[in-house]
Each structure stands twice: as C-alpha cells, then as structure tokens.
C-alpha cells in the first residue's frame, strides 16, 4: 500500500474519531440536561484524546458510546465542581475588573486585575485535564492546574495559540464547524498531556 493511501486512511480514521467525540459530547450534554453535562462531557473528550496519545505499548481504552459514557460518569462530580467553581471565580474577577475600569478609572489597578484574570483563566485550562489524569481533591486540582501553568510556560503559550487557530480554522473552513468541541479541545488536551508527562518523567528521575 502506498504512503498516500496509508495517509488517506489515517486521516479518515482521525476524522471518524473526532466526529464520534463530537456526537458523544452532545449525547452526554443532553443526557445530563446541559447544565450538569457540559463539564463531564468535556472531561470525557479529553480523556479519549489522552488515550489516543498513548504509546502503542500502553493499553488504551477503545472509543465507544459506552466507554465515553463511563468516562463522563467517572468524572461527573469532580468536573462539575471544578468547572463551576472556576466559572464563578472568573465571573467575580471580571466584575472586579469592570468596576475598576468604570468607577475607579485607575490604570494600574485595571492592568493588575486584567493580568490576574488572564493568569487565572489560563491556569484553569489545565483543570479538566488534571482531574482526568489524576485522582485529586478539589483543592489540589486548582493547585495542580496553577503549578502546571508555571512549570510549562512554552506549552501553555502553544496551547493558547493552538486553541486560537482552531477558532480561526472553524471560521474559514465551515465543515470544521461541525466538530467544534474536539477541534477546540485538541490543543488543550495535547499540550496539557505533554506538560503532565514532562513533570511525571522529572519526578521519576528523583
């Protein structure tokens, strides 16, 4: 079989995989009435991206609706806890920033609050990946996310660029708008996985 044919088959398998993730994400979202389903469904997508990143010698879960549903159920409580706490924190900081801009009109306070909001929001990108990979308490989930941000600045920058590019590609290539969730989460899953593997390898050497 030629390299072109093998490449075409690989691309087709990848598109089917991503398409399944999108369909399963919607299924779990509506199964838990949207509000309680968005974070577990997102955790399950990241979980199966992590499975696909494993080495061939490592045992990985096979994607099916049953295994996807089981992953969402396993992460249901923790993903909703960290997800909605993070959302409340971001809303609180955003309100503080708006108050500083509108009422105090102090440029230094506004810049500091804006920088704090950006740093915390970026660290929260590691929250769901961290709870998927590790069995962490609620407090340790936020601590681990912030530590991953500080320990892997280049990966974090690459993650933000990748997620931004996903949005741009979805806008200019309409067919990609059919798979927005896995497309957007791919960079988040890949770079958070690399960051965690880097720290795990460093800990193994200690």
Among the listed residues 130, 164, 161, 135, the one whose alpha carbon sits nearest the alpha carbon of residue 146: 130
Q: What size, in residues, is the chain?
A: 206
**Closest listed residue to residue 158, CA positions, set 128, 129, 193:** 193
Confidence tier at 1 by pLDDT (50, 70, 90): low
The pTM score is: 0.93
User: Rounded to an integer, what distance in angstroms lies between the CA atom of residue 140 and that of residue 59?
Assistant: 27
Q: Specify the 3-state DSSP secondary structure of 56.
A: coil
Q: Taking a C-beta distance cutoff of 8 angstroms, is the pair 119, 149 a contact?
A: yes
Q: Given this model, what pLDDT does residue 122 score?
A: 96
Structure token pair of residue 178: 């059919």
Give the CA distances from residue 176 to residues 19, 73, 77, 126, 206, in Å, rounded to whole numbers and listed in that order: 10, 28, 31, 24, 43
d(CA 79, CA 112) in angstroms, rounded, equals 29
Half-sphere exposure of 96 (CA within 13 A, CB side): 15
Task: Please give the share of the chain, as a percent, with pLDDT higher than 90.
Answer: 72
* 167-192 pLDDT tens trace: 999 889 888 888 999 999 999 999 99
Token digits for 6? 């093998």
d(CA 116, CA 139): 19
C-alpha to C-alpha distance for 43 and 88, rounded to whole angstroms: 19
Alpha carbon of 180 to those of 21, 98, 110, 168, 169: distances in Å?
10, 30, 33, 11, 10
32-61 pLDDT, tens digit per residue, is 999 999 999 999 999 999 999 998 778 888
Confidence category of residue 105, pLDDT binned at 50, 70, 90: confident
């Amino acid at each position: 079989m030629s390299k072109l044919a093998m490449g075409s088959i690989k691309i087709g398998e990848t598109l089917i995989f991503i398409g399944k993730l999108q369909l399963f994400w919607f299924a779990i979202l509506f199964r838990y009435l949207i509000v309680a389903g968005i974070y577990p469904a997102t955790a399950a997508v990241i979980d199966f991206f992590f499975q696909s990143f494993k080495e061939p010698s490592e045992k990985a879960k096979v994607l099916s609706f049953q295994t996807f549903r089981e992953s969402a159920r396993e992460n249901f409580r923790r993903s909703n806890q960290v997800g909605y706490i993070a959302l409340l924190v971001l809303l609180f900081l955003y309100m503080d920033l708006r108050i500083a801009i509108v009422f105090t009109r102090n440029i230094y306070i506004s810049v500091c609050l804006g920088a704090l909001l950006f740093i915390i929001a970026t660290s929260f990108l590691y929250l769901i990946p961290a709870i998927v990979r590790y069995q962490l308490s609620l407090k340790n989930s936020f601590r681990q996310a912030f530590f991953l941000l500080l320990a892997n600045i280049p990966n974090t920058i690459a993650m933000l660029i990748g997620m931004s590019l996903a949005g741009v590609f979805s806008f200019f290539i309409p067919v990609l708008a059919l798979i927005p969730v896995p497309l957007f989460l791919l960079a988040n899953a890949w770079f958070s996985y690399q960051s965690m593997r880097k720290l795990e390898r460093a800990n193994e050497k200690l």
